[in-house]
Amino acid sequence: MMNEVFVDAVRDCGVPIMRCLFEADDELAALARKLNCPVLSYDSDFYIYNVRYIPLITLTVKARTKLRKESANRRSLRKNEAKKLEKLVKGNRVIRGITINNQETSHQWVTYKYLDCCLYRVEKLITRSSLSKEKIPLFAALLGNDFISRKLFQNFFAYGLGKIGGSRKTNQHQRRIRRILEWLKHESLESALEKIMNHLPKAS
């Protein structure tokens, strides 16, 4: 019931909505890449998708207002563009240099509202860990997800990955993440898959 109320409320606000009957992670990621927008979700799987991701827990519900000074070299927009912008900002002050109703505005500042959040980019992980994009799904699978239990890789963790050392300040899961990242840096995707498969339980 609440789902339908939410959908009706979103549609009443004129927000486009798409729904999926089953697991929607792949569809959400594809849509986010097509629209060039981030995914807002509780699902940590999006940390390893090639999309910008906003963890829902980091989003504040209080709207904030920011004032920004207009750059001096900004070009004037055409009249029809100004009208579109005026509808979008909905009463916010319009930047200097926009012609509206054949009158030149003189404002030097732009105000806009926003919601504070944390935006995650997979490029940050790649840069810090020297991990290529094609190995990120494998990294996520080794940590366990909705489809693959981490217990499946117990033999690999025990005999194929090597000893998981580290500081006492970090827990076992954090040390495993670091060890997997270090191991993957020195493996190609093909060699990593081969070594993992060699330590998986054999089908009876």
Give the integer Cα–Cα distance in Å for 79 and 101: 7
Give the integer Cα–Cα distance in Å for 159 and 199: 8
pLDDT higher than 60, residue 79? no
Cβ within 8 Å of residue 160, ≥6 positions away: 195, 196, 198, 199
Cα torsion 181, 183, 185, 189 to 10°: value is: -100
Decide: helix, strand or coil at residue 97. coil
Residue 97 binned pLDDT confidence (cut-offs 50, 70, 90): very low
Instruction: For residue range 166-192, list pLDDT tens digits in order.
Output: 666 777 778 888 888 888 888 899 999
Domain definitions of the chain by residue range: 1-57, 64-114, 130-203
What does pTM read for this prediction?
Answer: 0.61
Mean pLDDT of the chain: 77
pLDDT higher than 60, residue 38? yes
